[in-house]
Chains A and B, each alone.
Chain A
Amino acid sequence: MSSDAGSIPAASKIVINDREKLYKLRRGIPKLALAFSLVFLFLNVFSAPQSQPVLRISAQDYDNYSRVTIQSSQPLSSSIEQNDTFVFVKIRANTPFRIQRESFRSRFIKSVGWSQGSGSYTLTIKTEHENFSLDSFKVQNPPRLIIDIHPNKGQDPPIAETNRSGTNPQTADPECIVIDPGHGGLEAGAKGKFGTLEKDLTLAIGMKLAEIVRQTRASNVVLTRDRDVDVSLEDRSAIANNNKATVFISVHVNGSYRKGAAGPETYFLSKDATDEESRRLAFMENNSKELENNIQAEDEDLIKMILWDMAQTAYLKQSSQLAEDIQSELNLLWGTRNRGIKQAPFKVLTGVACPAVLIEVAFLSNPQEERKLLTEEYQRKIAEAIYEGLAKFLRENSH
C-alpha cells in the first residue's frame, strides 16, 4: 500500500520490562522460539497460572551448520555425549517437564527424540552423517542449551553439491535463481469468484518461470515447491540461503476487499534498517560481558547469526531495483501505469540473503483478472514478463 521508502514499520525490539533480556532472546534463537516465548510472556502478563515447566526443542538450519535449541523455564543442568550419528543430551530434572517439540526440516539433522529416565530426560539427536563436530553452550534468560552441529568437510549436503558443480568454492558461485510459488497445501491463499485458488496459480506461473530460466540461462533454478505442498515461510527463505541464491522471486496473486482493485504490484521488504542496526549494536555493547560469561566457544557464530537475521536489509537497494525491473515489464503486459512498486514487511522476505522480491501478479479478487489468470496463455505471458525483468536486473548487476 505504501510506495514510500521513508516511513516503514520496523521489525524491532520487543519491549516489555525486561528489554535487553527479551531482545537477547529475540536475537539468540530462531523466531519460532520467540513466538512461543512471547505467548508465554503474554500469558504471564495477564497472570495466567504457571503450570508445569516446559522444555521446548527446536532445530534450524544455518548456512553451514544446524542448531538445536533446548529452552526451558528453569536452569538447565545437562551433559552431552556424541556417538556415531547420535548426540545424546541428558538433562537433569527434579520435576517433570512438559516437552514441546517443534517440527523442523534440516540438512544435517535427521530427527530429534526424547525419553524420560528417573530424574532426567535424554534427548537423542540423530544426524545425517557421522562425521561432524559439535559445539554447545548455554545462554540465560530464558535458560537455553544450544547445540550446533557442524558437518565436517567433504560432506556437503546434497543441495549444495548440485549448486556448486564441482568448482573451487573460492571462486564465485554459479548464478542460482530461487523461485517461490506462494502458499500451497492446506494454505490456499486468495480465492477467486470462480473458485480459483492462489496456490494453484502461483505454482503454474512459478513452474513456467522456472522453465523459461532453465531454457534461457546457464543458471541453477530452484523451486521452493514443485507441487501442492505446505512449505513454511522460514523454509522458503532457508532454501534460498542454502542454495546461495543470486535472486529470490516469490510469486503471489493478490486479494483485496476492493472489488475494483486491479493490476500487478511488486514488493520488496520494508524495514527500518538504521533503527534496527543501531539497536543491535546497542545490544551487543550492553551484553558483551554477559556473552563472554556464557559462551565459551565461537562468539563469532553468534554474531554471524545475529547478522543473518537482518540478511535482507543489506540487499534492499538491489531488491528495489529488481522490483522496478520486473514491475515495468508487468506494467507493459497489463497496460497499467507505472505504479505498484511497494514496500511491506513480508515475512517470507525478511531472512533472504540476496536481492528478493514478492510479486503480486494480479488480483484474484477481481473477476476479470481471475478469468485472464486462468488461461495458460496469460500465465505464460506473466512468466515471460517476470523473466524479462529478471534478465534486465542480472545484466545490470553482472560484474
Chain B
Amino acid sequence: MDKKKLVILAALLLFLVVLVIIYLNLGGTAKPKPTQFISASQSESESEEQIESLTIILFFPSEHDSLLHREAREIIPESSLALQAKRVISELLNGSQRGFLSPIPPETRLRELYITKEGVAYVDFSREIMDKHLSGSSAEMSAIYSIVNSLSYNIKPIKKVFILIDGGEKKTLGGHIDLTSPFQPIYDIVAK
C-alpha cells in the first residue's frame, strides 16, 4: 500500500513539474520573436541588430554654470555589471560630445573597477587624474561628482564610489576633497 501511495505521489509530482515547465515555456513563447520567421542567413544579421543598445547618462560640468549636465549616450550592453561600469567610465573619460567640459585629464586611464556585494564601486585611475588635474576645489568637485554620479546613476547596484589612484588610496586629488571615504552621488548639483 505504502509503495503504491508513493508511486502515485511521485507521478503526481512529476505531472506538476511537467505542467509548470509547459506553463513557463508557453509564457516565454507567448510573444513570438520576429526573428523566428526569418531565414537563417537573414536572422544572423538581424540578431546582431537585435542586441538593444542601452542609453546611459553621463554627467559633465558646463562652461555656463556650476552644475553638472546630463548627456545621453548609446552603448552596447556588457555581460557584467563591472564591465558595464567600466564602459560608463571610459565614455566619461572620452569627454563630452555636446561641448560640455571634461573634468578629468584626457591622459587618465581606468586601471581597474571592482564592485563589492555591498554596492561599493572601487574605481582605480592612473595617476594622471591627480598629476594633470587642474587644482582647485571646484575642479576637484566636478571631477569627483561626474564620476560618482555617472556610475551610481547608470549602475543601480552601486551605492557608493571609492576612488583609488594607481592601485591605492590617496588622500585628495589636489589638497581638497577627501578621497579616504567613499562618495554617495549628489543629484541636486545636476541641472534640471
Which residue numbers of A lie inside 8 Å of B, CB to CB?
A: 1-2, 4, 6-12, 14-17, 19, 31, 34-35, 38-39, 42-43, 45-46, 182-183, 187-191, 198, 233, 252-261, 265, 267, 272, 344-348, 350, 358, 360, 363-365
Across-interface contacts of B179 in A (CB, < 8 A): 347
Residue contact B137 to A12, C-beta cutoff 8 Å: no
> Interface extent on B, as a size class?
35 or more
Task: List 12 additional contacts besides A1-B138, A189-B136, A190-B134; criterion CB under 8 Å.
Answer: A1-B141, A7-B187, A9-B182, A10-B184, A16-B116, A42-B169, A189-B175, A256-B142, A257-B134, A258-B101, A265-B137, A360-B137
Closest 6 pairs between A and B when the two form their complex, measured CB to CB:
A255-B136, A11-B181, A39-B168, A15-B118, A256-B138, A347-B178
Residue contact A364 to B138, C-beta cutoff 8 Å: no
Tell which of A39, A182, A252, A260 touches B63, judged by Cβ atoms closer than 8 Å. A260
Residue contact A347 to B117, C-beta cutoff 8 Å: no
Across-interface contacts of A255 in B (CB, < 8 A): 134-139
Tell which of A10, A42, A358 touches B122, judged by Cβ atoms closer than 8 Å. A42
Across-interface contacts of A360 in B (CB, < 8 A): 136-138
Across-interface contacts of B142 in A (CB, < 8 A): 1, 256-257
Task: Give the residue name and chain of the A residue nearest to B135 (CB).
Answer: A190
B58 interface residue per 8 A CB criterion:
no
Residue contact A45 to B114, C-beta cutoff 8 Å: yes
Tell which of B66, B119, B120, B135 touches A258, judged by Cβ atoms closer than 8 Å. B66
> Distance (Å) between the CB of A339 and the closest chain B CB?
9
Q: How many A-B residue pairs have CB under 8 A?
A: 171
B106 interface residue per 8 A CB criterion:
no
Known A-B contacts A42-B164, A189-B135, A256-B136; the reply to A2 vs B189 at CB < 8 A is: yes
Which residue numbers of B lie inside 8 Å of A, CB to CB?
A: 61-64, 66-68, 101-103, 112, 114, 116-120, 122, 124, 134-139, 141-142, 145, 148, 160, 162, 164, 167-172, 174-189
Residue contact B184 to A272, C-beta cutoff 8 Å: yes
* Alpha-carbon distance between A363 and B168 when the two chains are bound, in angstroms: 31
Across-interface contacts of B137 in A (CB, < 8 A): 252, 254-255, 265, 267, 344, 346, 358, 360
Residue contact A347 to B176, C-beta cutoff 8 Å: yes
Across-interface contacts of A31 in B (CB, < 8 A): 171, 180
Task: Give the residue name and chain of the A residue nearest to B104 (CB).
Answer: A257
Tell which of A4, A42, A45 touches B188, judged by Cβ atoms closer than 8 Å. A4
* Alpha-carbon distance between A8 and B133 when the two chains are bound, in angstroms: 24
Tell which of A6, A42, A256, A258 touches B168, judged by Cβ atoms closer than 8 Å. A42
Across-interface contacts of A7 in B (CB, < 8 A): 184, 186-188
Task: Give the residue name and chain of the A residue nearest to B166 (CB).
Answer: A39
* Alpha-carbon distance between A73 and B67 when the two chains are bound, in angstroms: 45
Q: List 12 A-B contacts (CB under 8 A).
A: A2-B188, A8-B184, A42-B122, A42-B169, A45-B114, A257-B101, A260-B63, A261-B66, A346-B137, A346-B178, A347-B177, A348-B176
Residue contact A260 to B136, C-beta cutoff 8 Å: no
Task: Give the residue name and chain of the B residue nearest to A189 (CB).
Answer: B135
Tell which of B101, B134, B170, B182 touches A12, judged by Cβ atoms closer than 8 Å. B182
Task: Give the residue name and chain of the B residue nearest to A38 (CB).
Answer: B169
Tell which of B124, B171, B180 touches A42, judged by Cβ atoms closer than 8 Å. B124
Across-interface contacts of A267 in B (CB, < 8 A): 137
> Distance (Å) between the CB of A17 and the closest chain B CB?
7
* Alpha-carbon distance between A331 and B59 when the two chains are bound, in angstroms: 29
